[in-house]
Amino acid sequence: TYKKMKVKHVDFKTFIMEIINRTRIDHLAIDTEGAEDDIFPMIAIHDTLLRYNITICHMNVE
């Protein structure tokens, strides 16, 4: 059964640095439900990882 719930929307940097409170991630798996083309540019093109010194050793986006 489905249940309605409110969720908070945050950007990638906020999630990594403030919610999980890490700058080094060994393995990150993201299931974007088809939004890969929206998610990847936010991470790679805008240099989010470099600007905030975030290290991701292995990332799987599907």
Q: What's the pLDDT tens digit per position in 12-36?
A: 888 888 999 998 999 988 888 887 7
d(CA 34, CA 51): 26
How much is the pTM? 0.64
Closest among 60, 62, 52, 61 to 27, alpha carbons compared:
60
Q: Of 8-12, 34-38, 47-51, where does mean pLDDT reach its minimum?
A: 34-38
Tokens at 2, concatenated: 């489905």
